Amino acid sequence: MVSSAARSRLQELRETLLTLHKALLESERIGYEQAIGPIPSPGYFLKLVTTDPWFAWLRPLSQLIVALDEVLDAPEPPTGDTVAHLVQQVRNLLVASEEGDGFPRSYFEALQRDPDVVFAHAGVAARVRSGG
The 10s digit of each residue's pLDDT in 78-111 is: 888 888 899 999 999 999 999 988 999 999 999 9
Per-residue pLDDT, 78: 80
The 10s digit of each residue's pLDDT in 16-55 is: 999 999 999 999 999 999 999 999 999 999 999 999 999 9
Cα 3 from chain centre: 25
**Assessment of whether the complete model's pTM goes beyond 0.85:** yes
Domain total in the chain: 1
Q: What is the domain extent for residue 57?
A: 4-129
Could you tell me how many helices (H) and strands (E) the chain has, helices first? 6, 0
Relative orientation angle of helices 4-35 and 80-93, to the nearest 10 degrees: 20
